[in-house]
Amino acid sequence: MPKKSDMNTRTMPPPGAAITGALILAAAGVELAVNLPGHLSYDSIEQLFQGRSGVYNSWHPPVMAWLLGLGDALIPGSALFVVFDAILCFGAFLSLLAFASPKAAWPSICIAVPCLLTPQLTLYQGLVWKDVLFANAAVASFVCLAHVARVWPNYGQRVAAATLAFTLLVLASLTRQNGVVVLPFAAAAFGFIVMRHSARMRTGVAFGIVALIATALAVLAANWLLNLRSDGEPATREQIKLLQVYDLAGALAAEPTLRLDRLSAKEPALERALRTEGVRLYTPVRNDPMASSQIVEQAMAAANDDTVSSQWFDLIIFHPSLYLRTRAEVFWWLIATPDIEASRPVFTGVDGSADEMRELGIAARKDARDLALDRYGKFFEHTPVFSHFTFVILGVASTVLLLRRRRPEDIAMFSLLLAAFVFCASFFVISISCDYRYLYVLDLSAMIVLFYLTLDTEGLFEDWR
């Protein structure tokens, strides 16, 4: 077996990994062949329309519309965006072959094949969704950090890998509203890697803090620049208000006698709407039935934002157990997927606003290929493949192995899993729907870390002993 120092500095994987690499490339080719030019839902069509028009709204992170607009300017439609997504995802898998030991072929194949056959890779990589872009960018960024540790002796390669890592982190943070939670974990991983190679704690801490501050400033600057082309609508404030009203309706559904003194005094119309229509239509599965009620919608739109926020904070401060029970039920539907069909894990084809599709020159689509992909995805709906708990278990097991081995590159992969766990946990506070795609980063992170571990099983077991 080669020395670890040799494994860390080589630029090409050993011959035994060629089979795995060929399988990954073949899977990427098949994925693009069966999915291009991509599957677009209502939100996807809206973001493509904004990208082409150059005017974004803030209901969705504008970076998606910007990227779609860039690709659309070269080749009309979403094809280039889908290719970019595929490069991030399958490129991350391919690059990990640089960590493979000479005897890694069969263990890595045994993990790569089932991963590549999952709908999470065969179908989701063709979905024009911000959740997929976020997962790909976040995973690829931590993989780049692992490469920083691998190529550390080479200054040029080290700088290139670190630059790419934090560029992708900026993209990930811009893609999901709660995506910024990954930044501290990446910065900490970078700091630990620097500390391990410099043998100086202060140096590692300094580099980690600088990386965090620089990346956060880059996110703020990019977001500011993108919002210069916003339509000016206060969509973020509306999203927060919707979440707060949803929580209040859930609390009333659980405890009808709950007093809403602030709403009663200042917004009686909203209180009446929540006690009647809100309670009747509330479900922890998703906010759509309640939010679609004209009575609730009109009362919510007319209500003062500060009054709603104050009532929501009163719920948290004076009725914490009720608030936690309400949020726990919503989060359970998201993480546990008790009714997988309600989580809408499979989508194929093209469907969206008729007016926007007409202006884009895109027709609704549900052809034979879409139907075949739909059947393929739904085949896995009631199996562990479409269960976030499956990937939680895989992630926890991988975390234990990484913590036992503790190579510098392992720090990056451990941090990836930790960041994915915390990102998913953030939905305990903000979730208003149980869509499977929201936690897609958990599935992808668990698969890529498990694949990474199989690339050097001999070294792993040596360290275990």
Instruction: List, for residues 86-118, the tens digit of each pLDDT value.
Output: 999 999 999 999 998 876 667 888 899 999 999
Task: Kindly give, in sequence order, each residue whose CB lies less than 8 Å from that of residue 450, ignoring residues fewer than 6 positions away.
Answer: 111, 115, 394, 398
* pLDDT for the residue numbered 463: 47
For residue 374, pLDDT beyond 90: yes
What is the predicted pLDDT for the residue at 6? 45
The mean pLDDT value for 347-355 works out to 94
**Among residues 336, 347, 342, which one has the least CA distance to residue 377?**
347
Tell me what the mean pLDDT of segment 403-414 comes to. 91
The answer to whether the predicted template modeling score (pTM) of the entire model surpasses 0.85 is: yes
pLDDT over threshold 60, residue 176: yes
CB of 247 closer than 8 Å to CB of 312: yes
3-state secondary structure at position 300: helix
Torsion of CA 418, 168, 114, 385, to 10 degrees: 60
Distance (Å) of CA 63 to CA 77, 176, 206:
16, 9, 30
User: Residue 229's pLDDT band (boundaries 50, 70, 90)?
Assistant: confident
Q: Which residues contact 344 (CB under 8 A, 6 or more apart)?
A: 435, 436, 437
* Token reading at 4: 């670890």
What pLDDT score was predicted for residue 100? 87
* Residue 435 phi, psi (nearest 5): -55, 135
Burial letters for 117-129: b for 16+ Cβ neighbours within 10 Å, e otherwise?
A: ebbbbbbbbbbbb
Q: How many CA atoms within 13 Å lie on the side-chain side of 393?
A: 7
Place 15 in a pLDDT band, splitting at 50, 70 and 90: low
Checking if the pLDDT of 1 tops 50, the result is: no
**What number of residues does the chain have?**
465
Q: Which residue has the higher pLDDT, 459 or 224?
A: 224
Average pLDDT, the chain: 92
Residue 250 contacts residue 284 (beta carbons within 8 Å): yes
Helix (H), strand (E) at residue 324: helix 320-335
As given in the structure block, the two tokens for residue 298 are: 């009109």
Cβ-based neighbour number of residue 324 at 10 Å: 13
Residue-wise pLDDT tens digits, 303-328: 999 999 999 999 999 999 999 999 99
